[in-house]
Structure 1
Amino acid sequence: MSQKDIHKTFPVLYSGEQIQARVAELGRQIDADYYGQSVVLVGVLKGAAIFLSDLARAVSLTCTFDFVAVSSYGKGQRSSGAVKLIKDLDQPIEDKNIILVEDILDTGLTLAFLRSLFERHKPRSLRVAALLDKPSRRLEQINADYVGFSIPNHFVVGYGMDYAERFRNLPDIRLMPPDAPELH
């Protein structure tokens, strides 16, 4: 499927411009909440990498990055329900302000798993930034402290989010139609 076909069949939910404006607002909120302090932005790979990059540029505080990788989706559109840690943190987080950066808060299973894991390391604070929040699918009672957009129960791609590792590079967030043509 070509980029041209995607633009015809995958409708835009949020444009690149809307995303950038909202990320800038989130950056200002984080600056206010952590004024005079430093933060560690921990991105959940791979989906949050683009969001983390833009969010880091929107924050004027001293910040460092780290990444974790977990698996719960495989190559489909539905979570398997089992969360596995694939890549752990590279640095200690004890007594640090941690903002866990996720592309989408869906069932809550991944963030509940990571929150529990991180809390054992005694950070000074632990907050969650999610570009997208899909509350209708929540299985774990977890909320993000910083939310870009709340969305209905649709599968989305672009701006880091994928289907079978494809479409992460789209600058917009697009709805993937349930009857999307075979992807080659």
Structure 2
Amino acid sequence: MKKTLVFLAGLFIILGTLLACGGSSDNTGTSTSSSTTSQTSQQVKHFKVGETVKVGDTWEVVVSSAKTSDGDDYTKHDVGNTFLIVNVTVKNISNKEQDISSLLNFKLKDKDGTEGKDAFLTTGVTPAPNGKVAASDQSKGDLTYQVSASQKSFTLAFEADLLSSGQTVWDLSV
């Protein structure tokens, strides 16, 4: 009985910590380019490159560009693949510091649903947005993925809070 209580107390502490670090639980996207549109977790609106999208009460995200690359002197893609470089800016619009992770918050898929493999180029890219972002500050950088060279259409999903449902999606073409 005592072991069960200790286990449950530890579990509640871990869950409480994760919830406190997760930021806002409202993970809907709103475009701020020309009109304001809300999205629910059942209805996912797709945004275009260049649109500024408000995600909950925590982030404004802009996907500025998407382009392919053959790599650099140190990193080469697999045969039949290419690198896709997506430039993004995330702005913390909340009143407290937030964490961002290019690996956890962003997911790329091709039109067939295959996820892009995270890649790391050493030259020709700006480091991806990662780490702490102060209130009212922003982080800008390149997300790099290895994808099939035959694919030209992709979706990039952003999940502001990993513990709740909902995502904001951009359509990309190269």
- TM-score, length of structure 2 as denominator length: 0.29
Compare the two structures and name the one with the higher strand fraction: 2
**Computing the radius of gyration over CA atoms, which structure comes out larger, 1 or 2?**
2
- TM-score, length of structure 1 as denominator length: 0.27
